[in-house]
Amino acid sequence: MSKILVIGAGGQVGASVVEQLLETGAEVRASARNPEKLSLPASVEVVKADLLEPESLKEALNGVSKVFLYAVPQGIDAFLEAARSTGVEHIVLLSSQTVVDAFPVQKPITDMHRAVEDAIVASGIAYTFVRPHNFATNILMWGWPESIRTEGRIRFPFPESHSDAIHEKDIAAVAVAALTRPGHENQAYFISGPESITQRRQLEVLSEVLGRPLEYVELTEAEAREALSPIVPIWVMDAVVGYWAGSDGVPSHLTDNVEKITGKPARTFAEWAKDHAQDFTA
């Protein structure tokens, strides 16, 4: 099996891609902007690769036939030039289902992922686009862990907003299948969790897993925007708050592509909560 480069190996999905590739016996090279921060088995070659530093790319790609990549428009042209020059044969891109199914407020996110997808298609290199919609890990970004640990509650808008809440391990499993098995070239896959789950129900599941009562304090949209303003740029806030408003009481679209591609059903939010219980207790 040829060498595979995992770009962004320090992220939740990238780290799982590395772990699952090793389980297949693949030869793995892992990269990050700060590779010294990676903690990986000795069998994994670790290198620096930063899409914003083109000079770091060619060396990272040398001797690699396949690449796991995340979607960042900045630097994609230099990356693809380096990939062509070093003979990369297949790119598996962590993209987003927003390229084909999004609320208007999500346009900046749609445009970002579509720009990367279009550039890869135009490069002539074989590709697989992995398109999740809602990461279960998103709630880690919105302050849920600290609020649950310290107060036993969350302050959040739109409790009846739905999400398909896909586990990062399932995203990685689909990517690994595309990287290690034939037949996934020049394909795009929408992947989701197995259930449409509201934000209120996510908190109830966390309460069941953690074994303690948790309270949902509902914020207005204006209050939510004020709370999020120090955390994310305005365009991200517009996109996520707009999504929560648009999906309020509206079940998420689901697909069984995780099971079709990997042979195993997608993990539930309860499984994700058990895997991440320490995030809400440590």
For 196, half-sphere exposure in the C-beta direction (CA atoms, 13 angstrom radius) is 12
> Got the DSSP string for 116-151?
HHHHHHHHT-EEEEEEES-BTTHHHHTTHHHHHHHH
The model's confidence at residue 103, banded by pLDDT at 50, 70 and 90, is confident
Query: First CA to last CA across the chain, in angstroms?
Result: 40
The model's confidence at residue 54, banded by pLDDT at 50, 70 and 90, is confident
pLDDT of 53 reads: 86
Using only C-alpha atoms, the chain has a radius of gyration, in whole angstroms, of: 19
Length of the chain in terms of residues written: 282
- Give CA–CA dist 39/19, Å, rounded: 11
Instruction: Return the domain boundaries, the chain.
Output: 4-134+167-191, 138-163+194-252+267-280
pLDDT of 222 reads: 96
Token pair 């697989």: residue: 128
Average pLDDT over residues 237-249: 94
Average pLDDT over residues 81-94: 96
**Residue 55 pLDDT > 90:** no
| CA 206 to centroid of chain Cα atoms | 21
Task: Tally Cβ neighbours within 10 Å of residue 247.
Answer: 20
Greater confidence, 168 or 52?
168
Token pair 């346009």: residue: 107
CATH class of 138-163+194-252+267-280: alpha beta
pTM of the model: 0.96
Greatest mean pLDDT range, 38-47, 52-61, 197-206: 197-206
pLDDT of 203 reads: 98
**Residue 38 pLDDT > 70:** yes
**Residue 60 pLDDT > 70:** yes
**% of the chain with per-residue pLDDT over 90:** 84
Give pLDDT tens digits for 115-127: 999 999 999 999 9
pLDDT of 37 reads: 87
**Residue 71 pLDDT > 90:** no
Average pLDDT over residues 47-57: 87
Average pLDDT over residues 140-166: 96
Average pLDDT over residues 221-229: 93
Pairing of strands 197-198, 162-163: antiparallel
- Give CA–CA dist 134/143, Å, rounded: 17
CA-based torsion, 242, 99, 77, 86: positive or negative: positive
| 3-class SS of residue 189 | strand
Token representation of residue 26: 């693949």
Token representation of residue 80: 């693809």
Element (H, E) at 157: strand 153-157
Task: List the single range of 101-105, 203-207, 253-257, 259-263 with lowest mean pLDDT.
Answer: 101-105
**Residue 245 pLDDT > 60:** yes
pLDDT of 93 reads: 98
> Got the DSSP string for 3-55?
-EEEETTTSHHHHHHHHHHHHHT--EEEEESSGGG----TTSEEEE-BTTBGG
Average pLDDT, the chain: 95
pLDDT of 56 reads: 87
- Give CA–CA dist 273/280, Å, rounded: 9
**% of the chain with per-residue pLDDT over 70:** 99
The model's confidence at residue 188, banded by pLDDT at 50, 70 and 90, is very high
pLDDT of 186 reads: 98
pLDDT of 72 reads: 82
CATH number listed for the domain at residues 4-134+167-191:
3.40.50.720
